[in-house]
Structure 1
Amino acid sequence: MTAPVRVAVPRKGRPLEAVLDRLAARADATTLADDVASTLRYEKALTKDEQSDDRGVYERLAAYSDPSDPHRPDYTLLRDARAGKPRRIVFDSLTLDLDGTPVQLVGREEPFRALRTHEFALGFDSADLVLEEVVQLRPEPLSTIADLNDRIDPHDTDVRVVSGLGDTVHHTLLATPTAQQAVGAPALDREFVVDYEGDVCISPRYERLVEAVLGTDATEGVSFVYPDPDREEEAGIADVGVGVYLTVTGSTAREYGLDVGERLFPSETVLMENQCEAEGDAVETVKRELADSAPETAIPPQ
């Protein structure tokens, strides 16, 4: 039997669902993909006490998994970061047939780092992690997924972005009308930040990401601060006056009196390859089948 091409994927959340949607379309696996997504949503609801189940976590794990059948989803347990550190059921592995090539999806907490350490040739993870870990900071802003590879130092990592999956939400510039009036800029965009000096409220650990998408010239005179962990991020930004946060519609931001400005960068799941490991016809076939052909997310080969 041909050895499967192993692909690192997130263990839970929106990025994993985006990968499953892509595989469902390519591998005629809609039922399997829906089963994994619904199981993990249910387990998340149990962890957040939004659902109840008389079965213990090990009973549920045994009901969901069948390690003897690689073509059925397999799950595993992790400690959740929530209060009490409850055990949470997350995705572990699944083998599918993709255009005649067996593909094994393998759950990892940090797929991007698993590719960086040469454990996999292919993997999916959030573009945010690429910005946070390996893109070079430059005076000019980074605004598209297609420009990511140009900012990756080849001496730093062999990983490159192949394409985005289109499950897009945006890092968006937000500000109160008072903050905008103080600057006097005609629009709430990157040029506004160039003229602004003071605090900018962002999510913790996103400093490099925000610097990359705004550009280092624009962030001169800016100090990053973080919202209170017990409050919504939009509330913290409203207190500070200016911030950057992920938005879909911006409705919550507007509820806190914030104006929704420029969409700075798309936060979406991306297919990546480790160029040193991505060898052979099978890997190339899988990469071709999984890559997005849409011009806004496809990235020219290097």
Structure 2
Amino acid sequence: MTATIPVAVPRKGRPLEAVLERIAAVADVDALADSIISTLRYEKALTKGTKTADAGPYERLADYSETDSPHTPEYTLLRDDREGFPRRVVFDSLTVALDGIDLRLIGREEPFRALRTHEFALGFDSADLVLEEVVELRKAGVGSLAEINARIDPHDTDVAVVTGLGDTVYHTLLATPGVIGGTATLDREFVADYEGPLCISPRYERLVEAVLGTRATDGVEFVYPSDAAEEEAAITEAGLGVYLTVTGSTAREHGLVLGEHLFPSETVLMENTVEADSEADAIKTLLTEPATETALQVG
């Protein structure tokens, strides 16, 4: 009998796309992965109001989900937190045959927490959540994925990071020229000597403390964008901030200077070291083989 290994994955967004692309790299499911990604991007556009649909969410859900075989994708409906709280179609599950093992991808709102509660041996989620919840705060900051496991207290969780998937967007220091001055370098050392407002996304206090280090955040006052303000505009008003950047073009349009890339906001493969067995280890090896990144040391 073919073994089935359940793996927790995000339900939508860039992290799920990164997972599907990694699965497609080791299994012959490129067209299927592209179809799921296209469907969810379309549903996101409907939720944001940039596209319209003739059919309602339940009709679209019935059209998307093919339940005759576990090797076809299933979707589900969630209530989105946008204005009006629309129902949004998101990923639910899919089984992929991988080297004699059925890999059962199961959508979770918080895959990392599902691993922490021992529901799964393997899962994918954003590295940001690991920093927000379990990485130990120290005077020096965390600058790479390779540093994460050393900062996790094994008494706090059995989850460890295995490797990143390469869908890197960086938490980056941004500042106005007036705050930086003529000769300063915009990096952790600059923040350590700085006192004043530091604009960040709401609920990111612990993440920012982890990546900058408690020495650098001593003396700063966390401030947040208003609901109506763009993050770059809010950072311009504060003078200094931390924000996710890809090219930095929007930040430059607001007159901001890009500083140090503090930490990669990347989708990571994780394992619960207590729940992992030989079959989970085999899947982990298959999923990390195509990676160009260096797998992290676990344990």
Q: Do both share a fold (TM > 0.5)?
A: yes
Does residue 219 of structure 2 align to residue 216 of structure 1?
no
Q: How does 1:1-302 map to 2 (within 5 A)?
A: 1-181=1-181, 186-279=184-277, 281-291=278-288, 296-302=293-299
Give the whole-Å Cα distance in 2 for the aligned partners of 1:71 and 1:176.
Answer: 51
Paired residue secondary structure (2:15): helix
Q: Distance in 1 between matches of 2:267 and 2:86?
A: 27
User: Conserved in 1, the CA contact under 8 Å of 2:162 and 2:270?
Assistant: yes
Alpha-carbon deviations, 1:71-102, whole Å to 9, x = none? 00000000000111111000000000111111
Structure 2: distance between partners of 1:171 and 1:297: 20
CA contact (8 A) 1:292 1:298 kept: no
Shift of 1:291: 2.0
Between the aligned partners of 2:264 and 2:105, the Cα distance in structure 1 is 25
Deviations along 1:181-214, one digit per CA (max 9) or x if unpaired, are: 2xx6621111110110011000011111111111
- Distance between the aligned counterparts of 1:207 and 1:295, measured in 2? 31
| More displaced stretch, 101-110 vs 53-62 | 53-62
Partner SS state of residue 281, structure 2:
helix
Residue identity matched to 2:128: D
Unpaired stretches in structure 1, ≥5 consecutive residues = none
CA distance in structure 2 between the aligned counterparts of 1:189 and 1:296, rounded to whole angstroms: 25
Matched residue SS, 1:75: strand
CA distance in 1, matches of 2:92, 2:48: 21
Deviations 1:13-50 (A, max 9, x none): 00000000000010111011001000000111111111
Q: Quote how far apart the aligned CAs of 1:296 are.
A: 4.4
In the alignment, the residues of structure 1 paired with residue 33 and residue 105 of structure 2 have an alpha-carbon distance, to the nearest angstrom, of: 12
Q: Distance in 2 between matches of 1:297 and 1:238?
A: 36
Q: Is the 8 A contact 2:161 2:298 kept in 1?
A: no
Residue segments in structure 2 that go unaligned for 5+ positions in a row: none
Alpha carbons 1:145, 1:297 under 8 Å: kept: no
Paired residue type of 1:268: E
Q: 1:289 to 1:296 in 2, by over 3 A?
A: closer
Query: Separation in 2 of the partners of 1:129 and 1:136?
Result: 13
How far is the alpha carbon of 1:68 from its aligned partner? 2.7
SS of equivalent to 1:218: helix
The answer to whether the 8 A contact 1:124-1:272 is kept is yes
TM-score, L = length of structure 2: 0.97
2:269 aligned partner, one-letter code:
L
Task: In structure 2, give the amino acid aligned to 1:259.
Answer: V
Describe the shift of the 1:296–1:73 C-alpha distance in structure 2 as closer, same or farther (beyond 3 A): closer
List per-residue Cα deviations over 1:218-240 (Å, max 9, x = no partner). 11101111011211100000000
Secondary structure at the residue paired with 2:49?
Answer: coil
- In structure 2, relative to structure 1, the CA distance for the partners of 1:301 and 1:121 (3 Å cut) is same
How much does 1:60 deviate? 0.6
DSSP 3-state at the match of 2:216: coil
Paired amino acid for 2:18:
A
**Number of residues paired by the alignment?**
299
Shift of 1:297: 4.2
State the shift of 1:300 in Å: 1.7
The letter of the residue matching 2:280 is V
Identical positions, percent: 68
